[in-house]
Structure 1
């Protein structure tokens, strides 16, 4: 029974709306939404969530504004979005893997290298040499490392020597409303200000975007950061198309703070999701990710001229930028939502997720 009011915004399409109720969760029939109107809504959300206006002033050696001077702003590709990809220990051994990843992403999660069964294969014998080496590599390349679960409440994902006697509390029929209930129960013991976050294992088949949106809306009621931590789509003819749809929806949602693609490179891709082949040539999924990064979600290279006050103002995606004045002049001052530091402008949202 639906006992909450729901506002429906007509996009000009007179298609009939169908509501489904799942406890406190309300979703919409897929058929209601068509690609273009939905993309229009997503783009509006992306503009609000991921872009800000920035003003840069050029000055001469005496500190006076320089008018009508060319200004170029270039974005650091690795800083573009809080979207990363899982990595495996193979990155320590394969130079091509290392070059491809460090030039493509600014965020990662170690796939299994931090799991308990790898770091303590025998009782009281710990070995963190592999994840330590991976962490050092990421630090050297200024790549953020997002944490991941170190064990799962399933015997097959625990060390072989560990005796599993605790009651398995997993709920196979979990729903967003049940998730919220359990989260509030945990918060009642440890407190709301304990640095909690929601990490959603996001293994999709055929995406139901309205349900996905409504589910995240419901989880957002917890008031904690939400990450999609293992986003993948199984191999198939529509894999790349589905991946692109999911990424657009997640990226535009105001409560999703980060996304990890579950596509660690391997010599053979056994039915999972890979972005490249073994020689690091893009697969259709890799093309989809590059298309979103380069065509939809980056400011690319922006050029313009300063006005009568020596200012250049534009709207750009959050990230790290290198502004370059033409002919002569330097940059000074602060920009709304960002800063200038030794010529490097940083424009980004305040991150509430723990890296």
Structure 2
């Protein structure tokens, strides 16, 4: 393993979580540039080279003398004709397959706007890796934040690619920092201590108020603060074993398909809410909160066939859409914690193509008018899973949110991240969440699963759950284990067999849940002043004294910057 010359602190490991959109002057490079040679271009072009047929040079800002690197194709006409877009500045590295790499760069273009990708080209592969994306523009600097891992150690080249072949790319404060897996996990744990847990003091006193030392204290979590849930199907209603598996584990759920348009209105005008009504009754009985998924789905293949047949008559089509929205939202208003309004609207455009470019904002306004207390969500895939897909990448997600605001929607917008994994890049996932955190909006991971084709499925599930839980911006997480009887089975990932005995994925899920719920309890002994201190996940707890008829007390542990008052347990 190569030596990188210094130790990175956990504080440095999440630098620039507050993600600025566009600045007049770029900030300093993360991690002082890491292993990048000459990250701030203070040494001219040292360490840098042209990629493709690029002409590179050093620019100097008139206002403050800041130096930056620029790259443009040597033959702009040929580049435009051939649509060759990877003429850029570049740098060579030796990469290690046992490391995780965090990347960032400040970019702008000389004229107009351009979507820019950062890429890594391993020397011994014909396939480059997209490691991050940003929407760059003239006049200000935007931060591209990304990350990656490699399968094979060896030399590789960092370069940039624009969707505009004639774009002149400017760059500054470029950083590439490697971390070991041990460093990464250590940082996850440190962040969890800071953002998911609080230190709590309990004091045991007798009825005269005097401290009791050497008292054995036991603490049990009653209700967790961080929501973890799963997808459920109609089969839970009549399957006792399914209920017995689900109910002890979760207080949050989503109906995997039973609320969708194609499930409740297979024939035009014949609306049947029997199954979602029964599911809602079931979860309410057991005090389980539910996400409303989904009012509409942008993918035409996921709509009732009769809806597609209406598209030749825009008046009938609009009427059908209005009826669907009004019907489902009025029926369930105030009963869901979220609504997914137009599922996967960044990947598909079926409704916009038929109803116009303001369809999304009109839907958000209409749903908000009917159900103003429920948070309305966008819900997309391939936002934090991988950088290969542009459609719902973090910068495009930010752009969609900005367009909703510009067009007049003022209600709360939720960021839904489906998180359907085949392979896991922890650095890219963290970088993407950092970008989305800049919005200060609610962020939920809504459909986490790992494909059966994943080379290390259980490892990916475990590490994805931990990464999500450790990120300060994420407010909740649902895993997607939608069980159906054979031969249908689960969509991508089951946690149990058909007898509801855990599979290896279920065991890993249970281990995670046990940790975040303090499943084994928290136990300790009071000191000479009657105190016992514990670091507890946020939630509701009950404390009592072991092996005695002494007192018990319920208390809340909440996120706070101030120390909580001690919880007093009084001897009865």
TM-score range, shorter chain: 0.7 to 0.9
Q: Distance in 2 between matches of 1:83 and 1:59?
A: 36
Structure having the higher helix fraction is 1
Q: Distance in 1 between matches of 2:220 and 2:496?
A: 27
Residue in structure 2 matching 1:27, options 132, 141, 146: 146
Secondary structure of the corresponding residue to residue 346 of structure 1: strand
Match of 2:554 in 1: 344
How much has 1:210 moved relative to structure 2?
A: 1.0
Secondary structure of the corresponding residue to residue 247 of structure 2: helix
Q: Distance in 1 between matches of 2:269 and 2:491?
A: 35
Residue in structure 2 matching 1:241, options 443, 459, 474: 459
Match of 1:37 in 2: 183
Q: Distance in 1 between matches of 2:499 and 2:426?
A: 33
Secondary structure of the corresponding residue to residue 183 of structure 2: helix
Secondary structure of the corresponding residue to residue 296 of structure 2: coil
How much has 1:9 moved relative to structure 2?
A: 7.7
* Runs (5+) with no aligned partner, structure 2: 1-24, 36-92, 96-100, 104-117, 119-131, 135-142, 151-177, 315-350, 358-379, 381-388, 561-572
The answer to whether the 8 Å contact 1:58/1:306 transfers is: yes
Match of 1:340 in 2: none
Residue 278 (1) aligns with residue 489 (2): no
The answer to whether the 8 Å contact 1:66/1:306 transfers is: yes
* Runs (5+) with no aligned partner, structure 1: 332-342, 351-355
Q: Provide, for residues 234-261 of structure 1, a one-character-per-residue CA deviation record: whole Å limited to 9, x for no partner.
A: 1035211111121111111111111111
The answer to whether the 8 Å contact 1:318/1:347 transfers is: yes
Of the two structures, which has the highest relative contact order with CA contacts closer than 8 Å and spacing of 6 or more?
1
Residue 253 (1) aligns with residue 471 (2): yes
How much has 1:225 moved relative to structure 2?
A: 0.8
The answer to whether the 8 Å contact 1:294/1:300 transfers is: yes
Q: What are the residue-to-residue correspondences of 1:1-355 with 2, within 5 Å?
A: 5-8=28-31, 19=103, 20=118, 21-23=132-134, 24-31=143-150, 32-61=178-207, 65-76=211-222, 79=224, 81-162=226-307, 163-164=310-311, 166-168=351-353, 173-192=391-410, 194-236=411-453, 237-268=455-486, 269=489, 272-295=492-515, 298=518, 300-326=520-546, 327-330=548-551, 343-349=553-559
How much has 1:267 moved relative to structure 2?
A: 2.0
Q: Distance in 1 between matches of 2:503 and 2:218?
A: 33
How much has 1:42 moved relative to structure 2?
A: 0.8
How much has 1:308 moved relative to structure 2?
A: 4.5
The answer to whether the 8 Å contact 2:496/2:502 transfers is: yes
Secondary structure of the corresponding residue to residue 199 of structure 2: strand
The answer to whether the 8 Å contact 1:299/1:316 transfers is: no
**Structure 1 residues 96, 18: CA separation in 2 closer, same or farther (over 3 Å shift)?**
closer
Q: Distance in 1 between matches of 2:554 and 2:194?
A: 23
**Structure 1 residues 210, 325: CA separation in 2 closer, same or farther (over 3 Å shift)?**
same
Structure having the higher strand fraction is 2
Q: Distance in 1 between matches of 2:525 and 2:34?
A: 38
Match of 2:3 in 1: none
Equivalenced residues, count:
335
How much has 1:118 moved relative to structure 2?
A: 2.1
How much has 1:275 moved relative to structure 2?
A: 0.5
Q: Provide, for residues 99-129 of structure 1, a one-character-per-residue CA deviation record: whole Å limited to 9, x for no partner.
A: 1100122211111111122233344443322
Alpha-carbon RMSD across the aligned residues, in angstroms, is 3.0
TM-score, normalised via structure 2 length: 0.53
